[in-house]
Structure 1
Amino acid sequence: MENTKEVRTRFDEVAHQYDNQRRKLIPCFDDFYEIAVSIARTDSTSPHILDLGAGTGLFSSLILQKYPTASITLIDISEKMLETAQERLKGFSNVRYIVGDYTNFVSQETYDMVISALSIHHLSDANKWQLYQNSYANLKKNGVFINADQVLGHTPFIESLYKKDWKQKVEASDLSKDEIESAYERTKLDQMSPLETQVKWLQQAGFSDVDCVYKYFNFVVLHGRKTT
Structure 2
Amino acid sequence: MAGPGHRSAGKPLLVKIVMAGESCVGKTSIVRRYTEPGPPRAASYIATVGIDFKVKTITFNDTTVKLQIWDTAGQEQFHTISTSYFRGARGFVLVYDITNSDSFQGITGWMKDIHEKADDEVDIVLLGNKCDKETERVIPKHRGEKLAWEYGIPFFETSATNNINIEDAFSVLVKEILDKNSCVLCDLDVVDLNESKKKRTCCQL
Q: Which bin holds the TM-score, normalised by the shorter protein?
A: 0.3 to 0.5
Higher helix share: 1
**TM-score, normalised relative to structure 2:** 0.40
TM-score by length of 1: 0.37
